[in-house]
Amino acid sequence: MSGTQTWISANLSYNNSKSGIIGDGRYGVVFHGTFFDQNVAVKRIQQIDVNPREEANLRVLNHDNVIKLKWLEENETFRFLVFELCASDLDNYLKGKYKGQPIKLPSDVQVLLQLSRGLDYIHTKNVIHRDIKPGNILISKTDPVRMIWADFGYSKLTNNHGSTSQSGFRGTHCWVAPEILRLRSNSTNARSSKQSDIFSAGCVFFYFLKPRIHPFGKENSVEGNISRGKIISADLVANDPVIQVVVIPMIAHKSEDRISLTKVIEFLEDPKGIPAAFETMKTKLSESTLIKINKKLIWISTLLQQEKKTGWTIQAQVIKKSQLLLMESIKPGVPPTKYFFVELADGSGTIRARACTAKNCDKFYPLLKEGKEYFIQKSTLTALGEERILSLRAESEIIPI
């Protein structure tokens, strides 16, 4: 030991002082260190807190955009994991806390592409991260800069379906998927999955593209908004093709509605196709009609995640239509109310729509046909128990495509 430099072995040491700390977490502290005279990051973990799962998962990962375990040593008290020394994590960088040499990040699309490729690689190894957040993304010191997924302390192997059981809450509450937040209410059947990672990555991508703005609002309300599927920042990105085509489908409320990383990578590898994908929602309308609605057109997944109940338009296909039904009144002497449901889909998600009263049923039931596509506007987003549905009212407009 020389000054604050603690030697673990002849070739590995770390700066065991407050100034040498890079970061700390629940189970370990990361220090500046040297390994064969090269600057490295050394994660020190008490032996009682060693996580064999983290080490096993790190050993199988070898990708430019995933942190690489260089070496491992231990003594009676601690276990030491040696990693590449990076310039900063993404959270500190976006908050302006990084004070080192200037960093020239790749373009926004390239940052998302690197992270998407890295996460897709992790998933191909049947590993899910389970703690995706800006603080667990590192920015390399290399030229060109690499974006790197790090901190696999909560990572876990999946089954053949890409999911794993989860006996307790894992992750950071502002960045986890709604199915993981259900564990807060002691749900016994919640599972984490690759789709859960995709949701968290989508939140991070939004936070990066709109610096330090979380799609689900401020920290004290994020968890509740995620649970309810209410995206707060939708108006900021209504005309942003990358966010609308790539990011919003990543944070769909239902895991089965989320876009795949394969599709995300496909868009990001050929970003010229993103505006075209954004425009496909509009191309089937006449120019005069388009002018009226193009500023209001949104995905179903966006609709389900925002608080704005009116003032939007969706383009969706009817995938299921019920028969005309009767709803008995709770008031004596009042005749039953006629109603029906349709299930709508647009590639980002699904939602049910309901028309009530004989007048509205007579107006909309003959118009809406299974397999046909429509623009729907001037409808209301409402609650039916825990489900959010569209209410087709007298003033609602349904335009066949």
The binding site comprises 43
Nearest to 361 by CA among 305, 323, 320, 318: 323
How far is Cα of residue 294 from the mean position of the Cα atoms in its chain?
26
Lookup: tokens for 196: 């859960």
| Separation CA 370–CA 318 (nearest Å) | 5
Nearest to 271 by CA among 395, 107, 87: 107
Looking only at the bridges linking them, the beta strands covering 156-157 and 127-128 are: antiparallel
CB 309 within 8 A of CB 380: yes
Element (H, E) at 152: none
- 329 CB burial (10 A radius; 0-12, 13-18, 19+): exposed
Counted residue by residue, the chain has a size of: 401
| Separation CA 380–CA 69 (nearest Å) | 52
Q: Which of 89, 120, 131, 346 is catalytic?
A: 131
| Separation CA 222–CA 248 (nearest Å) | 16
Helix (H, G, I), strand (E, B) or coil at 241: helix
Tell me the binding residues for ATP: 43
| Separation CA 132–CA 365 (nearest Å) | 45
Is 37 assigned a catalytic role? no
What's the CA angle centered on 191, arms 215 and 219, to 5 degrees? 25
Helix 194-209 with 108-124: angle, nearest 10 deg: 170
Q: Which residues are tagged catalytic?
A: 131
